[in-house]
Amino acid sequence: MKKQALYEALRVRILTLDLAPGTGMDEALLAEAYGVSRTPLREVFHRLAGEGFIALESNRGATVSSMNLSVMRNFFQTAPMIYASVARLACEHATAKQLTELKAVQRRFRAAVKKRNVADMSINNYRFHEVIGQMAASPYLTPSLQRLLIDHTRMSQTFYLTRCMEEQHRVDLACTQHDEMIEAIGQQQAAHCVELTLDHWALSRNRIELYVQPDPLPEDPEKHVEQRAVGKSQKGRK
């Protein structure tokens, strides 16, 4: 039981960036923190590595999976293709039990949106798309989707951390799109579901890109510093 709880805890910490990409996983500290011995901890590490959450290297130990330039380039190239293919197959193979589970996940996602809880939104969005992947039941697409969702969830913090009404509107729209996708899957409307899925991807893509594209520096840093100094001086004279 402790081993499963440890697996779930580490997975959530990675998905919510509590453990940042490239972070080393200290066996001794984690074993002590979660009250487990090294053996079950290493078993959890191997499970997480097999799913793409961490990397295991003989000379470095375990580290949280990287999100370097090569990874990001592949992510943005392949994400829409994988999501669209999974959505189409989900419409063809979804069971009533899976549809019920998807609706339950969506209720939790909507509750998180209402509370503006970034971590809960990210985790429930992860689970929402994971269930759709299970509906697709593709031995070829499922591993790709699982790996894709790890990075998508980590970057989605920028989408769910809203700072203005326009950004919040986009999150609310994403929630509505989930409802529409559930309806399309239930009605086996594959073409419509693919269209909704691509719209859903496009809605968050620009915000997600901010994860790897921070605000640019001013063209002339010295001029920028000078302007700020002048501004402060003028405020002081008022």
pLDDT the model gives residue 15: 96
pLDDT the model gives residue 60: 78
pLDDT the model gives residue 110: 98
Structurally, at CATH architecture level, domain 2-64 sits in Orthogonal Bundle (1.10)
Query: What pTM did the predictor assign?
Result: 0.84
* Domain extents in the chain: 2-64, 69-209
> Six-digit token pair at 152?
């998508």
CA distances from 171 to 3, 65, 73, 113, 116 (A): 34, 27, 24, 8, 10
- Provide the H-helix boundaries in 137-189: 141-155, 157-160, 165-186
Label residue 165 exposed, middle or buried (CB < 10 Å: 0-12, 13-18, 19+).
Answer: exposed
pLDDT the model gives residue 216: 52
pLDDT beneath 70: ranges in the chain = 1, 210-238
Residue 147 amino acid letter: R
Domain 69-209, what fold? Answer: Four Helix Bundle (Hemerythrin (Met), subunit A) (1.20.120)
pLDDT the model gives residue 206: 76
> Six-digit token pair at 12?
């959530």
pLDDT the model gives residue 237: 54
